[in-house]
A and B are shown apart, each in its own frame.
Chain A
């Protein structure tokens, strides 16, 4: 077995460690290439590779003519339970707000009917909202609910209402379990415009459903998350 670390890898890890150990906060400029090369006794090419890699991984960013800065950490979307997003954001001290883009009753398409375990053409609410993190538009969420499960939903729902609150206090339903699927999509012109991003940018595409404690399907959703703002996180432990 070989016993060494490639100089480029070593330089990248040193740089990562330097940021962590010195607790460099977002938008702090890191020392110049020359200083870092001198400090670690490495050449410019090696250091540049290290910087490039960390820029690629989103840990650093470059400002032309000025230097290299520590990037802002992505917002953690901690996926712990069925109704955790607003609560989770609150705990992190992040303001999550919403704006309804569209709210209507549609006849269930094949896909929606299947997900909500209902029949084709059944009346369902389709609610599309744009969500903001600290005033930055970064999530487009489409929600489907069976009109029979949640009658008059459009009357109760507003920009400020929490879905968890509505389910619990108006319909007396407890969300208990669910499943979510996460993949990559690319923003359409319309989505990009809504989220103030570039068309074609990659983004998280999530679809999922939640069930009540009685095993009834409650909602089916599809969301798009800006990938430059979010990272998806799951923390589990045995105890």
Chain B
């Protein structure tokens, strides 16, 4: 069997002490992903850590991971690490329409910071929204989105824990919620978005460093699954001077 075939059919590779080290490490990582030790959306140990753990060269680690990256099992994210990927949706809900924020004019880089990720009791309001008990746990996540290093928007996300218990392990600043849901087979079937212009709370304005006289755009999104159950609610605040939204219109059925 030549090297090319091994990449295509790795499962058949029999690992022995004579197998090259990089292939041995590749199978270790693959097994840990398949066994669920490394979950989709999670970063695996860094190349340096792996090199140290197994007493091998970093180049060897890199070689081992390359194939898994090419296979679509792992993804390298600049400055953040190597992440496990899961399933993808064949069809993304957003392709059907909806408001799309126009970020970054030109070459400015867009980045997301996960400021808060916590579990909290749903309380009366979210119990009603998600159709769960007030004491049931929900995730609360807050993201700060930066464009060219400056704050452009802030997003608050609420997801019931039972919808996606693995959210704990996932780095939500790397993957949008739609990807995370796809990883864990949570289907998004419909979405309602609304845009309103508001002044915003002083806390929010401070966080986004909004100049006086500039208004905010508040976007609320409700996502539902096939059964109509609400699986995610989010509320975002965009700086009015740095944001616009695009929407595709269509009268085709």
A-side residues, CB < 8 A to B, are 1-5, 10, 13-14, 16-17, 20-21, 52-53, 56-58, 74, 76, 79, 81-83, 175-184, 186, 200, 202-204, 208, 210, 227, 231-239
User: A1 touching B119 by the CB < 8 A rule?
Assistant: yes
Q: Looking at chain B, what size class is its interface with the partner chain?
A: 35 or more
B-side residues, CB < 8 A to A, are 91, 93, 96-99, 102, 117-121, 123-126, 128, 137, 168, 189-201, 213, 215, 217-218, 240-241, 243-252
Q: In the docked arrangement, what's the CA distance between A147 and B212, Å?
A: 43
Sample 5 A-B pairs with CB under 8 A, ordered by A number.
A10-B123, A17-B123, A181-B246, A182-B247, A235-B190
Query: What residues on B are CB-neighbors of A52 within 8 Å?
Result: 201
**Interchain nearest-CB distance for B68 vs A (Å):** 30
Query: What residues on A are CB-neighbors of B251 within 8 Å?
Result: 81-83, 175-177
User: A1 touching B117 by the CB < 8 A rule?
Assistant: yes
User: B198 touching A184 by the CB < 8 A rule?
Assistant: no
Q: Considering only CB atoms, which chain B residue lies closest to A174 in the complex?
A: B251
User: A16 touching B125 by the CB < 8 A rule?
Assistant: yes
User: A178 touching B124 by the CB < 8 A rule?
Assistant: no
User: A204 touching B249 by the CB < 8 A rule?
Assistant: no
Q: In the docked arrangement, what's the CA distance between A122 and B247, Å?
A: 28
List 6 tightest A-B contacts by C-beta distance, closest first: A237-B190, A227-B197, A202-B215, A184-B240, A183-B244, A13-B125
**Interchain nearest-CB distance for B116 vs A (Å):** 9
Query: Known contacts A58-B196, A236-B191; is A183 also within 8 Å of B243 by CB?
Result: yes
**Interchain nearest-CB distance for B209 vs A (Å):** 17
User: A5 touching B245 by the CB < 8 A rule?
Assistant: no
User: A234 touching B91 by the CB < 8 A rule?
Assistant: no
| The one of A3, A79, A237, A239 that contacts B247, using a Cβ cutoff of 8 Å | A79
Q: Considering only CB atoms, which chain B residue lies closest to A179 in the complex?
A: B248
Query: What residues on A are CB-neighbors of B120 within 8 Å?
Result: 2-5
Q: In the docked arrangement, what's the CA distance between A20 and B127, Å?
A: 13
User: A227 touching B196 by the CB < 8 A rule?
Assistant: yes
